[in-house]
Structure 1
Amino acid sequence: MQEITVIFISAFIALFLARKAAIKVGLVDKPNARKKHRGHIPLVGGVSIYLSLWILYILHSEWLPDFSLYMVCASALLFVGVLDDRFDLPVMPRVFLQALVASIMMYSGLHLASLGNILFGYELVLGWAGYAVTLLAVWGAINAFNMVDGIDGLLGALSCVTFGALAVMFYLDGEHELAQWSLCLLAASIPYILLNLGIPWGQKFKVFMGDAGSTLIGFTVIWLLIVATQGHDAVIRPVTALWFIAVPLMDMVTIMTRRIRRGDSPFKPDREHLHHILLRAGLGPRQTLLAIVGVAFIFALVGIIGERAGIRESVMLSLFLLAFIGYFWSITRVWRLLTWARRGSGQSEHLRSNVSQTPLNK
């Protein structure tokens, strides 16, 4: 508990210090056609979490396997992420760096060697294909948590659900140091969530995570999930990991599928994510936040219950796929209905405008 308190306080201090520095160097998010916030908001959420991780490393470098190597990868990702936030780098340098840190991670022996007994009781061993799958998993986790960062508090809260679920499973399996590491990461995220939501000082000290932060969180999540699911010391089965990141994963796959079917790049920014759809459907920002985080919590809870109850992996995978199909179908349907409604409203407004501008004697 003492370490968690230290990390929480250090993250708060780092957040205020980084905020001042960011304003001076122009590391801020400016409003545009897609971003509706007011003013220039410092992009320092990831920086504060990263700095607090150094405090944790100094205090307990033994808590996380290959902690030193993790910090090397995290430092590289954060550095390039900050440059991207400041200067809007092209996609390819970021993709290359993510592949590089994934390679470093795999060189240390941390990779997806098995997907568990998902083939009706038979283990799916990946062999050499495991390295390619690990690379895709790193890219997927980073992009999933990057894409979900669209409304105040959402990225931080969803990451806390994942870190909290992992902490529970590490603790129940006797891996107390990894459980504390996960809780410290959760504690480091809370100051960002508070300031991002305007608690308790309103908009005066508001901050955003930035791509540097979402990249750091996504990479940290996949690092912990691989630690938790692979090898003799695994505490959960690989299928359980899907439930812990269900919402970011489902949202990413759904939005990318929709973009590809439309003929756009899967990485093209838009306002069609889950949080955008819920906002357009009439929910307020806080209601949308609570709804999405509530769903993520339920998914994580299902994963924990399934793991502890020993439900067969093939059954848990089937349930996850059914949940994803239901999510995909319902979100796609709602999105289409809202699109049609908006078009109808726009046409009606256009007709009313034409009528009002038409001379009465014509």
Structure 2
Amino acid sequence: MREYLLLTLVTAAVTYLLVPAVRSFALRIGAAPEVRDRDVHTTPTPRLGGLAMFGGMAAGLLFATHLPYVGSALTSKSIGGGQAVTALILAGGLLTLIGFLDDWLGMSAMVKLLGQIAAAGILAYFDVALRWIPLPGNYTISLDDMLRPTLTVLVIVVTINAVNFIDGLDGLAAGIVGIGAMATFAYSIALSWDVMESRINMTAAVCAILIGMCLGFLPHNFNPAKIFMGDTGAMLIGMLLGTSLITITSSFPGSSHTFNRFPLVLPLLLPVSVIVLPLMDLIMAVIRRTSAGMSPFAPDRGHLHHRLLDIGHSHRQSVLIMYAWSFLFASVVVGLALGGVPVIVLILTAVAAVGVLTIMAMPKVRARRSRETHNRSPHTRKTESIP
């Protein structure tokens, strides 16, 4: 556990210290575009924060190889032939390059999508991939040489775009991904206590690095943000989050899970719970845009965070509400699994989580309606007309 903590601290420190230099570089090359109609910030803010995050990731991965326990997990021959670090750096480097060019000069959505597929293909090539899918009844679906890379690319690309779609408020993407990484880390550590297996330890290592990247970047990115991560950072942390989800889902066959009461549900439910908020936003955005005859990648102001702002919440309140929802759902899924609580409790908790989110939004709605009613009342208009 101490090695994971040290890994997180090193990654966070490197990321944090690199941000000022990256910010100066972004301003020097003009990577601080003018404010657009759909933006919620009011002054031009430099992008390219993902460059600092990539530096933190690379430093964390290289540092991890020198740690006895974590290093053995990342260099195990059962994971990508011992080349998992190389796979992550190559895939992350490709996404960082594509994101840098997009944040600086602009790039079409199709080119970015092809780059995401290529990065996911690199992971699959090095066997950092989804190997099987657990099913109820102690069964698993083993993936052949065609399905393994195909599903790996699908999971990685969907996760990248889910994170990218939700990156619309200061600190939102970094915070939610950090929360998801913490939940996945907690579950992977619990599994590693029960079954010693290198892939589950790799999941913990990747999550520790991802947590460090988010923690190191958030002080510069929380409202009011001094720098944005841009597509450079959003795609990078999306790739790492997706990597943690595919490795924890196929860490070992479902029959090995014997220490909780619904273990066969968790490997499928945990990835969904971790990205439930960005995934929901992604699905709603695609439906909304295609039904209006627009491209699924066309920008708009219909995201969840935009709606929270529109009903009266401040920038920080909107971010904290979404933090709370993500933390509640992801932590409950992990907590119920480790505690062996029936699945029905999870369903009821999910309903309660939606209720909490609604209640947190309601005061603002009631206040706005009260003001509108007050402004429309005859007494108010008469009073305002008195000189």
The residue identity in structure 1 corresponding to 2:239 is: F
Supply the distance in 1 between the matched residues of 2:155 and 2:239 (Cα, whole angstroms): 9
Number of the residue aligned with 1:86: 104
Contact 1:243 1:302 in 2 (8 A): no
Contact 1:15 1:44 in 2 (8 A): no
Matches within 5 A, 1:336-347: none
Higher mean C-alpha displacement, 172-181 vs 4-13: 172-181
Supply the distance in 2 between the matched residues of 1:114 and 1:58 (Cα, whole angstroms): 29
Supply the distance in 1 between the matched residues of 2:347 and 2:292 (Cα, whole angstroms): 29
| TM-score normalised according to structure 1 size | 0.80
Number of the residue aligned with 1:257: 287
Distance of aligned partners of 1:109 and 1:54 in 2 relative to their CA distance in 1, 3 Å threshold: closer
Contact 1:43 1:209 in 2 (8 A): yes
Supply the distance in 1 between the matched residues of 2:142 and 2:332 (Cα, whole angstroms): 25
Supply the distance in 2 between the matched residues of 1:91 and 1:44 (Cα, whole angstroms): 18
1:237-292 CA-to-partner distances (Å, cap 9, x unmatched) read 12221111111111111221122222222111100011111111111111111111
Contact 2:48 2:230 in 1 (8 A): yes
Supply the distance in 2 between the matched residues of 1:284 and 1:222 (Cα, whole angstroms): 30
Distance of aligned partners of 1:8 and 1:123 in 2 relative to their CA distance in 1, 3 Å threshold: closer
Supply the distance in 1 between the matched residues of 2:292 and 2:273 (Cα, whole angstroms): 28
- 5+ residue gaps, structure 2, are 66-70, 193-199, 258-265, 377-387
Task: Give the secondary structure class of the aligned counterpart of 1:27.
Answer: coil
Superposition deviation, residue 305 in structure 1: 2.5
Task: Give the secondary structure class of the aligned counterpart of 1:38.
Answer: coil
Number of the residue aligned with 1:22: 26
Identify which of 189, 196, 216 aligns with 1:191.
216
Higher mean C-alpha displacement, 180-189 vs 258-267: 180-189
The residue identity in structure 1 corresponding to 2:267 is: R
Higher mean C-alpha displacement, 231-240 vs 210-219: 231-240
Number of the residue aligned with 1:304: 334
Q: Percent identity?
A: 25
Superposition deviation, residue 186 in structure 1: 1.2
Number of the residue aligned with 1:227: 247
The residue identity in structure 1 corresponding to 2:296 is: P
Q: Does residue 53 in structure 1 map to residue 57 in structure 2?
A: yes
- 5+ residue gaps, structure 1, are 349-362
RMSD, matched Cα: 3.3
1:274-325 CA-to-partner distances (Å, cap 9, x unmatched) read 111111111111111111111101110122024324568xx58x949x86xx
The residue identity in structure 2 corresponding to 1:230 is: S
Identify which of 133, 144, 147 aligns with 2:151.
133
- Greater than 6 Å deviation, 4+ residue runs: none
Q: Does residue 241 in structure 1 map to residue 271 in structure 2?
A: yes
The residue identity in structure 2 corresponding to 1:53 is: M
Contact 1:3 1:184 in 2 (8 A): yes
1:83-132 CA-to-partner distances (Å, cap 9, x unmatched) read 011111112221111111222211222333433215x7654555443433
Number of the residue aligned with 1:97: 115
Supply the distance in 2 between the matched residues of 1:165 and 1:83 (Cα, whole angstroms): 32
Superposition deviation, residue 166 in structure 1: 1.6
Q: Does residue 117 in structure 1 map to residue 151 in structure 2?
A: no
1:187-208 CA-to-partner distances (Å, cap 9, x unmatched) read 222232111225xxx66xx000
1:25-56 CA-to-partner distances (Å, cap 9, x unmatched) read 11224212122423331213211111012211
1:39-83 CA-to-partner distances (Å, cap 9, x unmatched) read 331213211111012211332233535011110110011011100
Supply the distance in 1 between the matched residues of 2:201 and 2:150 (Cα, whole angstroms): 31
Number of the residue aligned with 1:358: none
Superposition deviation, residue 135 in structure 1: 2.1
Task: Give the secondary structure class of the aligned counterpart of 1:109.
Answer: coil
Distance of aligned partners of 1:154 and 1:184 in 2 relative to their CA distance in 1, 3 Å threshold: same
Contact 2:163 2:173 in 1 (8 A): yes
Supply the distance in 2 between the matched residues of 1:93 and 1:82 (Cα, whole angstroms): 13
Q: Does residue 13 in structure 1 map to residue 33 in structure 2?
A: no
Q: Does residue 106 in structure 1 map to residue 110 in structure 2?
A: no
The residue identity in structure 2 corresponding to 1:256 is: V
Count of residues in Structure 1 that have an aligned counterpart in Structure 2: 326
Distance of aligned partners of 1:17 and 1:210 in 2 relative to their CA distance in 1, 3 Å threshold: same
Identify which of 207, 228, 231 aligns with 1:182.
207
Superposition deviation, residue 163 in structure 1: 1.1
Contact 2:19 2:220 in 1 (8 A): no
The residue identity in structure 1 corresponding to 2:127 is: G
Superposition deviation, residue 178 in structure 1: 4.6
Supply the distance in 2 between the matched residues of 1:21 and 1:259 (Cα, whole angstroms): 35
Task: Give the secondary structure class of the aligned counterpart of 2:132.
Answer: coil
